[in-house]
Each structure stands twice: as structure tokens, then as C-alpha cells.
Structure 1
Amino acid sequence: MKPLNPGEPLLIGRYRLLAALGEGGMGRVLLGVSPDGRLVAVKQVHPGFAHDEGFRSRFRREVETSRMVSGAYTAAVMDADPDAATPWLASVFVSGPSLRQAIDAAGPLPPHSVRYLAAGLASALTEIHRVGLIHRDLKPSNVLLTDDGPRVIDFGIARAVEGDTELTHTGSIIGSPGFMSPEQAESRPITPASDMFSLGALLVMASTGQGPFTGASTPQTLYNVVHTHPDLRMVPPELRRLAGPCLAKNPAKRPTPAQLLDFLGPAAPTSAPWPHPVHAQIAQQKAEVNAFLARPAPSPALSQAPASRAGRKRRTAWVATGCAAAILAVSAGVALLSNQFSDGDPPAQTSAAAAPPPVDPLSPDRLRLVDPCTLLDEQSFSRYGTFDNGALPANLDNCAYLNFSDYSGLIGGITVAVQMFSEKGELDNVQGLDAVRSEKGDSCHITARNPVDPSLGIQAVAINKAPDRCQIAKEMLDVAIRTLRGTPKLYPMTPGSLLPVNLCTVANKEMLQSIVGPISTIDDEDGRGLHSCQWSATQDVNIGLSNSSSLIKGKEVDLNGVKAVETPEDGQTWACELAWHHRIGQRTSEMVHLQVLNSHENKESTCSKAEAIAKAIIPGLPKP
């Protein structure tokens, strides 16, 4: 998700724009908010199509047909303006990665997830075909994975099944090589069975990581689609019975969506249909959307998208009365939107991670999700004995690995984000990263500079009387960084988890200043604390997340329905801490700690301010 470009219109139709989601061959997708507060994905079609009157006519017809599509597994079309200077369409915003992004992050889906995917896709095609549409471009980037199942998108620009007018020029193909049907590849007339062939190809890709016809080049892939048998060797047997019939070359031999659903039978209810890394992606994208929503809304009067052609006609008389500047402003707006789009294959509508490059494995956003107690494998350190790391520490950023069997009580620890990287110590290098080594007593610390944020460090510590403790620490850090760059195990993700959230985004500066006074700095503003943040003022405010299922002892308070414990501390500076459970789980629990430090007021005033801040931020936290 990217901010809007400077000078870019802030409104399209009646929708206030927040951010850019992605670009594709058909146009650009923007995150917007409707007047009633709903999130929408606004797709502006490629400006080149705006000059084709035939396209506008077909687009208008298909929008009207698409509005009849409903169902739990599609993103409904809400609004459109085929007559705008740049035609656009608004659909319900869906938060979740594309199928392609999910597989890139988590690898092939397990069989139960593929069956869940198959049921959702078949249900979506049932609705799309019911109103006389053929999707024509069912591919991995047009399937989004949400917390409660898949969503099929981009059917709003499909061609209605009527007449013989082509959406594109004669001889061109709508679809994606490797996922289109043989009849599409040969530019022959298609039926709804074409979408079922695409569904079969998607199931193979979901279960193996690659399509059944992938070749070394696009022409080779198209040849395979038309002439060769699908490669199902890596598909689990129970899934071959799903995908195989859909991939029949003869459309008449493919099952219908209803027949596929009958074969699947009732789906078992689940709150987590996908592997944990996919749910982590969903949670991360929701957090990024919330961050954009928390930004102050700009004045809509500052910038607005070009009006429809009908609206411009109604205002033609303004030029004769000396208001040519208004027309010039509209022309400038059109120029800003006339950029060419790439012909790649990104999601046409995705949430947070659609258009930007993949998240760097050492970035704070990724490190927040990593379980540090899984970074070191026992095999790599078997000569020292068996690590004991069964219990997660309260600090979610680090883990202690204990060994009492063979190596004099070795204690090893990994911290994935040291908040301030220090260059004091003996210089070293670990996995190509600058590192420093320091010893104190029986402990040796080696800290590598995080290349994504040079102020961050990734640290290993070995506490032992043996002379090779620094070598042990370096071995630990080497393994940890290699694991982080690969496919580290992530914390179990559940809907509404705070683990992916940058806690510096849960409170805005204006709100805090109204309670504690002027804010001078926001420490860890870029997430350097991973699971904590501090606002510095005459009264400092700290917020953090810990893994704890037991509340500390103190005074019970009610934060508008949320039970919390309040613990004032008396000293040179009054400190009042509030703690409450956001979520309690088996492997991880999430307790929020909010602390206000005050150097010149009494405990009642300090705790009153802590409660006011807590009541202000709780409604904006993800709902578990």
C-alpha cells in the first residue's frame, strides 16, 4: 500500500481516497472510503480505454450485470461511472493477500485449505454464471484470501454472455497464460466451462506452488494448455480427483460449479482456513489499512477527480462567463491520471501488500511476526546438548535457550530487534552483516546491524564460563539470521491479533497532546521496538505488548467494558500502569501495558490520564 501521489485527486465520485493499492493491465486500484464509512476498492481503467466509445458502452453494460452478482465469495460491485473522464468502478474492499502472494509467503497450501479454496471458488462462479457472466480471467492474483475464505474479484470487467462484440480487438486474448482454457488460448468461443478449467489450474497451483501447464516461455505455456496433459504428479491424490476433471480439454467433460460443490460435500467449520503465515499477512494488511485510516482526513475541496463528461457539458457555459480556470484545473487533473500502467500480473484489487515489493525478511513488519524461540534448531547445536525453549518469554522480541546437560549450564539467547544498535565493541561480520562483539563477565554478546533499519540490531548472547562462548554466540547469530532470511516460523496468528501492529500507530499525536500536553518525540516511530512505543512529553507515555495470561496485581478498573488492572507507583516520578488482556491463547497471549510517567502531579491525576488514553485507543484496536 502506497500513499497517494502529491497533487493527486482526493475524491473519485463520492469516495474519499486514502492510498494506492496496485496497478495492472486494465488500470489502477485505490483504497477509498464511502460516505457511510465503508472501505471500497476504486478501480480506474486505463486512460487509453476512455477514448474508445465501444469500450465505454460495453463497460456500462457489464457494470450493470456485475451489480447483480452477490454471494459470500465475491467482492460486490457498489458503484461505477462509465462516463467519467477516466471510467471507474468501486467494489467492496477485501483485506487479504492474493493466492499468489499467500503461496509465496507460506508455500503450497495443505489439502484441507485447498478444499476450502475449491468450495469458495465454486460458490463464487455459481453466482457469476447465474447472472450471465463469464469471469474469463480467473488467476491467482484475482483470488484473495480473507480470514473467512476466498474472494473472487475483477469480474466487473468481464464480458457479459450476449452478442458477439469483443471486449478487445480482434485476435487478442483475455486471460492469463497457464490459467486460461484451451478454447481461450485458441480464441474460440467460450462458455462458463472455461472458468472451470481455470479453477482446476488454480487448485493445482495452490497445492504444488506452480501451474499444471507452466513452460519456459509464454508460447510454450499456451502450447501446453492446448496440447499437453496437465502435470499432476505433485498434487496429493485426494486433490487430483478435484482438479483433474476440471482440466479436461473438452469443455463438455468438465464439471459445473454445482457438481464440484456436490463432490466436495459440506465443509467443516473453521476460524482459520489457511496456514498461519497467510493469516499473519491478513493481519498485517489490516494494520496498514488502520494506519491510513488514522491519518487526518484532508479537505476534499483541495482536489477532486475529473467529473463525468455529462457534468462537463453542463458546465460549458462557465467558460463564456470568464471561468476558464475551472476547466484548466480539470484538464490538469486528467493529465495527472494519464500515466501508462504496466502489463504485469499484479492483483487488480488487493489490500496492503499488493503493489509494493515483498516485505524484506529483516524488516520490522516481518520481525514482529517471528517466534524467536524457533530460530535455532537443535541439530545445529547438538554438541552442546538439548535446548530447553518450550516456554515463550514475556518479551515477544527475544527467547532464551537453556542447556543444563552437557555444557556447564550454557544459556543462549536470541533477540530479533535490539532497539539501538551500538558500534562499541570488536568489529565482526555475520552472514554479510556488520556486527560488533562485546564481553562482560561470563557473557558474550554479538549484535549484527539490521540492513533494513541501521539503528536496529539482531543479537545473540552466550553466557558460559567456557572460553569459546563468543564463538557459540556467533554460531547462534549465524543460524538465526539464515533462518530469518528463509522461512522462519511465525507466531500463531488469529483474527484481531496485535502481534503485527506497530503500536506507534494506535494513538495519534493530537489525542495524546490533549491529555498529557505537548509531545516532543515519538520513539520507535518506525517500529524499532517491534511490540512497544514511547511518546515523550512533560509526561511520558509508554505502550507495550507482552505474552502473558496473568494480570498483575492491582486495582481493578473498567475501561468502557474492558477489565484492566491499575498499578500506581510512588517514587521520584509518579508512574501509573494499566494492563489488560487483548487476547488469551494457548501458545501466545496478548497483554497490553500502558504507562504514564509524571514528574509533577499526584498519582490520582496520573492514573486518570492513563485511563483517558486507554479509553481513547481501545476502540481502534483490532477486534480479537
Structure 2
Amino acid sequence: MKGLSSNDPRRLGRNRLIAVIGQGGMGRVLLGQAPSGRLLAVKQIHRPLARNTEFRERFRREVTASAQVTGAYTAAVVDSDTESERPWLATEYIPGPDLRTVIEETGPLSLGGMRLLAAGLAAALIEIHRAGLVHRDLKPANVLLTVDGPRVIDFGIARALEGDAQLTATGSVVGSPAYMSPEQAQGQPLGPAADVFSVGAILAMAATGDSPFSGTATPQVLYSVIHSAPDVSRVPPPLRDIVEHCLAKDPAQRPTPEQLLEAAGRIEAEPVWPGAVRDLVAGHRADSQWWTETTAKHARYEAQLADLRDRRRRTLRTAAAAVGALVFVAGTAFAAQEWAEQPGHAAPASDLSMAVTGEQWRTLDICALLENSLSPEFGARTGDFSNAILNSCGTTFTDSSGTEVAFELEIGSDDVMNDNLWKPSGEVAGWMPMFGLFTNERSCARTVVTQNRPLVSVELTAKTSETSGNGCPVAERGLRAVVNRLAVNPPRLSLPENSIRPLDPCALLDENLVSELVGPSVRRTVRPTSCHWSGDDYNLTLTLNEHVRPDRNSRNSAVQVDGATAYLQDSGGRICDLAYMARPTHDDQAEVVTISMGAWRDGVPDTCDRAERALSAVLPGLPK
């Protein structure tokens, strides 16, 4: 998501708009919020379409029909205005990624995921067809994944774009060629069986990563849809028969949605998403929550600012009546201040929006960030740098009056969100809410949790030298300065080409191998320098970082893994840590790959064997 532009409305009907979700062929899709607090996906029609009388009439009919669709696997229509200058439609917001994005980022679904997808799509078709609608544009981008199953969106609305479903003079089609039925590709009348064909194509793509119909151009794909047998050879056998029946050329030979639902229920696999898919779903939910909280905070700030301006104006009017001759001077002063606050006049940028990537987090020079951010605010750095804990840096600054402030900056995980000690402070930095950990009057900690993935907390602790001082305003000023620097030009470490610091730890292990190592129902947690997988039987953590060389620890024993020397610290079988020194850096420090393998129960003897298998898979992906 991204913020609203100057051309986007702030309200549509009674609904407040929050952010931009995306843009499609019909219009712009916005994140909205109803007066009840319910989140909405608001589709506002493009101006050229809104000026088309025929389109307006079709859109009006489809909105009326779509409002009749209810069910657990569809997005319900909540509100609409088909008569305004730019018609719009608000549906229930589904906080999840679309199926196309999921397959691109995580690969084909597991058999359990396929069962959940097939059953959910069948249930959605039952509801859509019960309302007398045919979707006509079922495709992976119109299927959103939530924690408990898929959701079908844009049902029936696709028809508002059509005069009829046939090829244009340029060879393009209304719809998605790889997922439309043969009868739709030939411009024939459509019935419910056309949607079943689309579901079959979607299931084949989700199971293999590719469309079952070959072709690099629209005419080739359409020819395959109409005349060629679909390629389902890589679809898992328990699902292949279902897909083949859905993709029958003759609509009469395709199963009904009820039959498809029954067939999906016979697949012998637990209907759950893979761990990587659950991570993506959680990220989308966190993203929408962040935008909602941030927009509400900004609205309160704007209201306070408007109230302050009103009070200033009232003060000015009172002063003008009382002082008389001084009205010109006072008015000029206040007017100048008011003028400077109006849009369109240059002012220093503040509270900048931050979007740091995973690689930038991993290669961030934290000490340089601390000094470059805080020196302009708090005076010269007067202390040495100290790295008290991993991913942190501390030092002191002293201003011209001799006031000294000690700061500790830590770039860490998002665990602060799960810690009840951290409370909202009511302040923001870079549009992100600040959380506070109050220690004492002189010392205070403030943190923000980034909205992009991976989620990362930026924590700053300030301690003043004045015994009567309050460290919280200082920490808040400092954290805003740090966040602004991260938004503009974050300093990065100067690293050689063979450094492991820029690598994404999650990308070094294949998800299939991870499932073998930790057991089924894998859940993944992403950190800047580590990746954690938790399964039913084991948990695995892969960390890339710089610390004391493992060969300097007398408790470690050397082992050979694929011809490379690693260092083993066995904690009795239940937990096994395996460290590989990728690159010595300075003194006794080195860049180290650490594999930590743990079992959920005692009496499991092979944690070290599993750790060695994981390291063996990681080694080829490391720089030489």
C-alpha cells in the first residue's frame, strides 16, 4: 500500500479513505474505513468509464446483483454510489495477498494448501451462482488468501466492462486468456460451468506454478484453451483428476461447484497453508493495521493543529480590538506565521516515511547512523562507540551548554509488539507510532516498528546527565532524527564482495528441505540477519552475523561438513548449534553462519545430523 495522493478523495460517502491498495482496469482501489471501524476495499471508477452512459447502466445492475452474494469465501458488498460523478463500490477488505503473488514468492502450494484452495473456490462459486451471477474473470489475481482460506473478489463486476466477450480488432480479449473457458474465448453465451473451468486452470497453476495452457502471446494461449489438451502432468495425482474434469472442453462434462467441493474434501491432506504463505498473510494484515493506526494518529494531529490555528486567530482578533494601533504589527506577525504554515510554501521536511529493504538493514552502519543523526540535534559526540549487544551502538553527545546525553541505538526484531511492557506513547516518527518503555526520569526508551517486511524495531534509549532531566522528550527527538536519516540516506557498511552480510538468510534454504528438517506445519519468522522455522517436531534458526570466531571457543569441537570445517556445540541432543566461519574480519571477530537446531521434546538424538544437513545446503550459496 501507499499513501493517498493529492488527487485521491479523503472520503467517499460516509467512508473515510486511508491508503491506496492498487489500480485495475476499472478504477483505483483504496483502503477505506466505515464509521463502524470496519475496513473496506473501495473501488472508484476511472473518469473515462464514468462518462460512458452504457457502462454506468451495466455497472449499476452488477452492483445491485453482487450485493446479493454472501458467504465465507467471498468479499461482501458493503456500500456503493452508482449515481455520483465517479461511481464507486465498497466491499469487505480482505487482509491477504492474491494467489498470483503468493505463488510467485513462495512457489507451488502443498497438497494441504491445494485442498484448502479447491474447497474454498468451490464454496465461493456456490454462493456466486446462487445469486444468479457468473464471475467471468476468475483468475489468481482475483483470489485473495486469508488465514482460514481463499476469498474471491470482483465477482460479477467484470461484466460491466463487456459489451460481449469476444476478441477485439487488435487480438486482445476482455478477461484473462489463460483462465477463461473455451466458450468465453469464442464469444459464446456463458453459464456457471465457465467459472468451473477457470477454477481448474487456477488450481493447475497453484499446484505447478505454470498455466496449463501454453503460449507466449494471447492468440496462442486462446488457441490452446479452445483446441489443445491442458498440461496437467505435474499436478499431484490426488488433484489431477479434479483438474482434468474442470478443464473439459464441453461445459456439460465439467463438475458442478457442489461436486468439486465434495471431491476436494476427499483429498487426504490437512487443509492448511504452508508456513511461508501464512507469513505473507500476516504481513498483509500488519500492513493494513499500520496504515489504519497511522492515519488515525495523523487525523488527530491535524485536528489539534486546526484547533491551534483557530485559537491563534481568536487571539489575533482579541488583540486587534484591544490594542488598536498595534493591530497592523501584530497582524503582520501572525499572518506571516500563518502564511508559512499554508500548503505550497517551502518548509524543511520532517517526519519522513521510511522504507528500508532487508539488505539495507543487514548492511546498516549503526554507529555511523547514530552519530550522523544525533550530532546536529544534541552537539558533538564526546564518547567512544560501544557495542553492548548485537546490532546496537552507544555513545554520548555534549551540547554547547555542557549537557551530556548518552544514547543506545538498537536495530532489532519486532518482538517489542508482543511485549506488554511497551506501551503507545502517543507520538510518531516517520508516520510510525512510537512505543515507550519508561525506566526512570533521566532514562527513557522509545521504539518504532517498521511497516515494511521484514518487520524491524528501531529502539533508542536516552539518559541525560542532569539529575532533574526528563529523558523521554530527548529520546523522542533522537528517534525522529534517526528515522528521518533512515528515510533519506541510511549509512551502510563498506563490505568486501565476499561478505555474507548482504545475503537473505531465508533464501539460503529450500522450503522443501526445511519441511523435512523441522516437520510439517512450518511457520517462518523473518529477521534482518536471521530466519527461524518452526515445525511440529523441530525448530531451526539460520543466522548470518559478525561475532567472536567460533574456533576461539574451547567448548566447540571441529567437524567436517562437505569438506568445510564447522564448529559444533552440542547441548545434549535436544539443541545443537553449528557455526561456520565464512570470513575472518578483524582481531578475534569473523562473519559467521550459525545453524541452531532444536527439538520440542527430549529423547530426539539427531538434532546435530539435521543441523549438518542444513549447513550442507547453505554452503553452496555463500560467496567464495
TM-score tier, shorter chain, comes to: 0.5 to 0.7
Measure the CA separation in 1 of the matches of 2:66 and 2:87. Answer: 15
Measure the CA separation in 1 of the matches of 2:33 and 2:3. Answer: 15
Measure the CA separation in 2 of the matches of 1:129 and 1:184. Answer: 17
2:202 aligned partner: 202
Q: Structure 1 pair 517/40, CA: closer, same or farther in 2 (3 Å)?
A: farther
> Match of 2:201, as an amino acid?
A
> Where does 1:449-488 land on structure 2 (aligned, <5 Å)?
none
1:509 and 2:427 correspond: yes
Measure the CA separation in 1 of the matches of 2:216 and 2:194. Answer: 24
1:533 aligned partner: 458
1:96 aligned partner: 96
Q: 1:294 aligns to what SS in structure 2?
A: helix
Q: 1:262 aligns to what SS in structure 2?
A: helix
**How far is the alpha carbon of 1:79 from its aligned partner?**
1.1
Measure the CA separation in 1 of the matches of 2:454 and 2:117. Answer: 37
Tell me, which stretches of 5 or more residues in structure 1 are unaligned? 304-357, 365-415, 424-444, 446-455, 459-490, 544-582, 590-624
Q: 2:29 aligns to what SS in structure 1?
A: strand
Measure the CA separation in 1 of the matches of 2:6 and 2:283. Answer: 26
User: What's the TM-score once normalised by structure 1's chain length?
Assistant: 0.52
1:56 aligned partner: 56
2:306 aligned partner: none
1:578 aligned partner: none
8 A contact 2:69–2:76 mirrored in 1: yes
8 A contact 2:358–2:454 mirrored in 1: no
> Match of 1:64, as an amino acid?
T
**How far is the alpha carbon of 1:25 from its aligned partner?**
1.1
Q: 2:231 aligns to what SS in structure 1?
A: coil
> Match of 1:212, as an amino acid?
P
> Where does 1:13-412 land on structure 2 (aligned, <5 Å)?
13-159=13-159, 166-167=162-163, 172=168, 173-265=173-265, 273-297=272-296, 362=359
Measure the CA separation in 1 of the matches of 2:153 and 2:219. Answer: 27
1:572 aligned partner: none
8 A contact 2:410–2:460 mirrored in 1: no
2:601 aligned partner: none
8 A contact 1:32–1:40 mirrored in 2: yes
Q: 2:159 aligns to what SS in structure 1?
A: coil
Q: 1:295 aligns to what SS in structure 2?
A: helix
Q: Percent identity?
A: 45
Q: Structure 1 pair 507/223, CA: closer, same or farther in 2 (3 Å)?
A: farther
8 A contact 2:410–2:459 mirrored in 1: no
Q: Structure 1 pair 498/223, CA: closer, same or farther in 2 (3 Å)?
A: farther
8 A contact 1:98–1:143 mirrored in 2: yes
Task: Name the structure, 1 or 2, with higher relative contact order (CA <8 Å, separation 6+).
Answer: 1
Q: In the comparison of the two structures, how many residue pairs are matched? A: 373
Q: Structure 1 pair 137/535, CA: closer, same or farther in 2 (3 Å)?
A: same
**How far is the alpha carbon of 1:418 from its aligned partner?**
5.9
8 A contact 1:133–1:159 mirrored in 2: no
1:549 aligned partner: none
Measure the CA separation in 2 of the matches of 1:87 and 1:28. Answer: 11
> Match of 2:282, as an amino acid?
A
Q: Deviations over 1:422-447 (max 9, x none)?
A: 69xxxxxxxxxxxxxxxxxxxxx9xx
Measure the CA separation in 2 of the matches of 1:176 and 1:285. Answer: 25
Measure the CA separation in 2 of the matches of 1:65 and 1:37. Answer: 25
**How far is the alpha carbon of 1:287 from its aligned partner?**
1.4
Measure the CA separation in 1 of the matches of 2:116 and 2:77. Answer: 24
User: What's the TM-score once normalised by structure 2's chain length?
Assistant: 0.52
8 A contact 1:280–1:500 mirrored in 2: no
Measure the CA separation in 1 of the matches of 2:453 and 2:153. Answer: 36
Q: Structure 1 pair 521/419, CA: closer, same or farther in 2 (3 Å)?
A: farther
Measure the CA separation in 1 of the matches of 2:165 and 2:267. Answer: 42
8 A contact 1:26–1:45 mirrored in 2: yes
RMSD, aligned α-carbons: 4.4
Tell me, which stretches of 5 or more residues in structure 2 are unaligned? 304-354, 370-390, 392-408, 429-433, 463-469, 480-533, 541-624
| More helix by percentage | 2
**How far is the alpha carbon of 1:258 from its aligned partner?**
0.7
Q: 1:75 aligns to what SS in structure 2?
A: coil
Q: Structure 1 pair 71/282, CA: closer, same or farther in 2 (3 Å)?
A: same
Q: 1:533 aligns to what SS in structure 2?
A: strand
> Match of 1:45, as an amino acid?
I
1:11 aligned partner: 11
> Where does 1:521-560 land on structure 2 (aligned, <5 Å)?
531-536=456-461, 538-539=470-471
